Chain A
Amino acid sequence: NAGVTQTPKFRILKIGQSMTLQCAQDMNHNYMYWYRQDPGMGLKLIYYSVGAGITDKGEVPNGYNVSRSTTEDFPLRLELAAPSQTSVYFCASSSQGSLSNQPQHFGDGTRLSIL
């Protein structure tokens, strides 16, 4: 059981480039989330989705876009990479939202550097 799979694990981008961080889960979870973790800080929610076709902004959505065309996949798009987006990105999923007290399961992260 793979759980939550994130690709790539590492990436270096130049300022202004774009890329998509991939996230897939095989647990048939409806809820999926994207977080970023900056050095010495906690995780901050970027975007979340409560099901296919439904997405919403989290605490720090600026500079990112998401889509949710299937239950399994929740890609995160950076259109114009900026140094402030250097961070570790975590994708998570849960069977129900935090409303129902189900814990989120996390992938191993994508370490992204913008130079």
Chain B
Amino acid sequence: DQQVKQNSPSLSVQEGRISILNCDYTNSMFDYFLWYKKYPAEGPTFLISISSIKDKNEDGRFTVFLNKSAKHLSLHIVPSQPGDSAVYFCAASDHSGAGSYQLTFGKGTKLSVIP
């Protein structure tokens, strides 16, 4: 059973517009969420994170929103650039005892930013 779900395998956006990537989770014990970006033939690179005590975290063009009641988070990229074209993974962890070192990943969303 997938605990972290990214229901959109792909997304295409025009350069300069907003990209919105979505992620849903089922485990109510998750209290820390991360987004990773991955280019082909490279490892994932950390992009931005958010703790469950917050509902928004911003870093430059990237903003992550967390809606705990809906168990939903989203990554907004504004404005989108061609270099943002990559696969984006949502990941989550819970800090309660066993498994606190584990990240649970979604399947990823492939973002294509069209010039």
Residues in A4-37 with C-beta less than 8 Å from chain B: 4, 6, 31, 33
Count of interface residues, chain A, beta-carbon cutoff 8 Å: 28
Instruction: Please determine whether A45 and B43 come into contact, CB atoms closer than 8 angstroms.
Output: no
Chain A 85-115 against B: per-residue CB contact (8 Å), 1 yes, 0 no?
A: 0000010100001110101111111000000
Taking CB atoms, residues of chain B closer than 8 Å to A42 are 4, 89, 91, 104-108
Instruction: Please determine whether B102 and A40 come into contact, CB atoms closer than 8 angstroms.
Output: no
Q: Assuming A40-B107, A98-B93, A105-B46, is B102 touching A45 (CB within 8 A)?
A: yes
Judged by a CB distance under 8 angstroms, whether A58 is at the interface is: yes
Which single member of B42, B104, B106 contacts A108 (CB below 8 Å)?
A: B42
Taking CB atoms, residues of chain A closer than 8 Å to B105 are 42-44
In the complex, how many angstroms separate the beta carbon of B91 from the nearest chain A beta carbon?
Answer: 8
Which single member of A40, A50, A56, A109 contacts B43 (CB below 8 Å)?
A: A109
Judged by a CB distance under 8 angstroms, whether B17 is at the interface is: no
Taking CB atoms, residues of chain B closer than 8 Å to A31 are 101
Taking CB atoms, residues of chain B closer than 8 Å to A59 are 102
Report A's interface with B, CB cutoff 8 A.
4, 6, 31, 33, 40-45, 48, 50, 56, 58-59, 90, 92, 97-99, 101, 103-109
24 CB < 8 A contacts A-B: A6-B43, A33-B101, A42-B4, A42-B107, A43-B44, A43-B103, A43-B105, A45-B102, A50-B101, A97-B100, A98-B32, A98-B95, A98-B100, A98-B102, A99-B101, A101-B32, A101-B49, A101-B51, A103-B34, A103-B46, A108-B42, A109-B41, A109-B42, A109-B43
**Sample of 10 more A-B contacts, CB < 8 Å, known A42-B107, A48-B101:** A4-B43, A40-B9, A42-B105, A45-B103, A98-B100, A106-B44, A108-B41, A108-B42, A109-B42, A109-B43
